[in-house]
Amino acid sequence: MSWNGRIKEERKNLSFFKIFQSADLSSECMRALPYNFMQNLSKEDFSYKMVIRAERGSSWEVDISKNPRFYYMEKSGWNQFVSDNALGDNEFITFTQKGSMSFNVNIYGKNGKEIVAPRKPPTTTPLSGVKKEEGERSYKDVKKEEETCESMEGVELEEATKKKKKSKKVLSYVEVGESSRGSRKKKAEKLKTLKKKKKIKTVKKGVPEFEITIRKSYLKFMLLPRVFEEEHIPGESMEYTIHHSEMRCSWNVLCLVRENRTVFSSGWSRLAREFPLKVGDRCTFKLIKPTEFVLITKKSRKETTVIG
């Protein structure tokens, strides 16, 4: 079919396009379905299973999910589509609906010519510009860090239980004649004092923020303080934009919400490298918008040099 003929036919159908630059092709923003497209898609046509078909007959099944802002394609099917077509060199791709959630794709190279035959996937450059081995190591580090946190929490819980048992023994020596009303009052006052000690301020001058000192593992991923996460982070994974304190540049970072902890994962190691962050740096994260942080750093003393 000629170009003009295809354009006339596809005008009848809903469609959208994407430009595959050499950035992180697996990011949630890259996998997002355009808002205007979803607004025009009928409820009857929508489903959480999407099929992508190429001109040569190949097809890929992709699951659809939704965060508070938009619908997006899940990584597994999407990454397979990107990998099989060796994308990431400024290709222009159109997605045209062919009934329900079935889409025809047409891939055009940066020279404007349509790519019909599949290209050989690159052997050295992986999907997101990060080596597979490095990604696996980062994931293992996250798991190790989470296990460490869980074990530490277990120790703290055990210590708290021991203290509680000791306090019960002490209370057993309290005079029997003390009224139950007085003991309840003392207990309430003690609980109030403990709550005050435990409370940590996460808002300063009306802006939510938290501070953290960079450790070695935090150069690959970063655990968010539990108090801040419970008060200011939604209960599901989403992408945040983190700005340099001098607004010189910004980075998109995935905030991964898990059952036990919340971490900055995909995109964070790039930020740490380009900012740059070093072990011992004291960092302040200010949540200036619902999905935007400003990162302010105080460099570690090891990096401070005195010129005589």
Q: How confident is the model at residue 190 (pLDDT cuts 50, 70, 90)?
A: low
Task: Spell out the residues 6+ positions from residue 303 whose beta carbon is closer than 8 angstroms to its own.
Answer: 278, 280
Mean pLDDT across the chain = 76
Q: How confident is the model at residue 170 (pLDDT cuts 50, 70, 90)?
A: very low
Residue among 278, 277, 296, 276 at smallest CA distance from 286:
296
Give start and end residues of each alpha helix (H) in the chain. 3-10, 35-40, 75-84, 132-171, 180-198, 226-232, 268-274
Once rounded to an integer, what is the mean pLDDT over residues 168-183? Answer: 48
* Residue 150 pLDDT: 47
* Residue 185 pLDDT: 63
CA–CA distance, 249 with 56 (Å, rounded to integer)? 41
Burial of 285 (0-12, 13-18, 19+ CB in 10 A): buried
Contact 254, 265 (CB under 8 A): yes
CA–CA distance, 24 with 155 (Å, rounded to integer)? 39
pLDDT surpasses 70 at 154: no
Q: How confident is the model at residue 12 (pLDDT cuts 50, 70, 90)?
A: low
The more confidently predicted of residues 12 and 210 is 210
Token pair belonging to 264 = 């900055």
Q: Percent of the chain at pLDDT above 70?
A: 66
DSSP state of 119: P
pLDDT surpasses 60 at 5: no
What letters, b where the CB count within 10 A reaches 16 and e where it falls short, cover 125-158? Answer: ebbbebeeeebeebeebbeebbeeeeeeeeeeee
For residue 276, cis peptide bond before it (omega within 30 degrees of 0): yes
Contact 135, 220 (CB under 8 A): no
| Domains observed in the chain | 8-108 (2.40.330.10), 209-298 (2.40.330.10)
Task: Spell out the residues 6+ positions from residue 32 whose beta carbon is closer than 8 angstroms to its own.
Answer: 70, 71, 72, 73
CA–CA distance, 270 with 55 (Å, rounded to integer)? 36
| Prediction pTM value | 0.39
Give the helix/strand (H/E) hosting 284.
strand 282-289
Token pair belonging to 95 = 């997605």
pLDDT surpasses 80 at 104: yes
Token pair belonging to 144 = 């190790």
* pLDDT tens, residue by residue, 226-274: 889 888 888 888 999 999 988 878 999 999 988 788 999 999 999 999 9
The more confidently predicted of residues 189 and 71 is 71
Once rounded to an integer, what is the mean pLDDT over residues 113-140? Answer: 54
- At 236, the amino acid letter reads E
Q: How confident is the model at residue 153 (pLDDT cuts 50, 70, 90)?
A: very low
pLDDT surpasses 70 at 98: yes
At residue 272's C-alpha, the angle toward residues 305 and 249, to 5°, is 95
CA–CA distance, 270 with 263 (Å, rounded to integer)? 15
Q: List residues bridging with 61 in a β-sheet.
A: 51
CB neighbourhood size of 120 (10 A) = 6
Contact 261, 146 (CB under 8 A): yes
The more confidently predicted of residues 26 and 166 is 26
